[in-house]
Amino acid sequence: MTDTSFHTLPDGRRIACRFHAGKGPALVFLPGYMSDMAGGKAQAVFDRAVTQGRACLLLDYSGCGESGGLFADGTLSRWKEEVLALVSAHCPGQVILVGSSMGGWLMLLAGLELGDRLAGLVGIAAAPDFTDWGYEPGQKAELAAGRPIYEDNPYGPEPTPTHPAFWADGQANRLLGSQIALDCPVRLLQGQQDPDVPWQTALRLAEALRSADVQVHLIKDGDHRLSREQDIALLLRTIESLAG
């Protein structure tokens, strides 16, 4: 078991992470919205990496998990900065980014910054542009007016908040309307019974990516989390097929 450590950014943000040194390319797991590195998929990826002697990095975005800060201050741009800072600190060579839900949007944004260091992407119910397609017009109006909104949370007892700064930053970072200039291999896992991310989003993303090496795996009975035993087994096989 690798203990949690903390990386401090120049502005004082303390980002919790777990890193296992090993062969590359390093795996970097990016959790979803309001999730953290203690989740089942992140732990499964880390444990398999340790078993295989592969480098692997887990992290909690600021305001999430064990990291400092307020969730209300979180934005995609802020969290991307944290991802890139930790990748720079721990992973000097090539990396494969594995992004779950919102983490799938974040992996695209971070990947565009990594250039030749990006060896591959694996999206799990990747949700690029969800600030655009994931909200009703009335909710968008509230957010645009600077007021947070709260929605029922099927995954926990507390309602899920969306804060105006996150929404505005998401709208400024939309990707699906034009070509996404990434050329690495990309694998997208998507459940067709996902109530949060329409499965057609995976096809839209595949079409938008410049890479010719893009595969979409649709799981007909799969939900949003894709955390069943068979789903995690598929995830691990998919990562290993890219990592070599």
Sorted by where each starts, the structural domains of the chain and their CATH numbers stand as 5-131+180-243 (3.40.50.1820)
Per the annotation, the verdict on 101 as an active-site residue is yes
Strands 14-20, 5-8: pairing kind = antiparallel
Q: Which of 101, 129, 169, 231 is catalytic?
A: 101
pLDDT of residue 49: 97
Which residues on neighbouring strands pair with residue 219, listed in sequence order? 191
Amino acid letter, 218: L
pLDDT of residue 1: 53
Per the annotation, the verdict on 224 as an active-site residue is yes
Per the annotation, the verdict on 7 as an active-site residue is no
pTM above 0.95, yes or no: yes
Cα separation of 205 and 173, whole Å? 14
Which residues on neighbouring strands pair with residue 151, listed in sequence order? 160
Peptide bond into 10 cis (omega under 30): no
Q: Which of 60, 169, 194, 196 is catalytic?
A: 194
Cα separation of 228 and 38, whole Å? 16
Cα separation of 89 and 65, whole Å? 20
State the 10-residue block means of pLDDT for the chain, 244 residues long.
Answer: 89 97 97 96 97 97 97 97 98 96 98 97 98 96 97 84 97 98 98 97 98 98 96 98 92
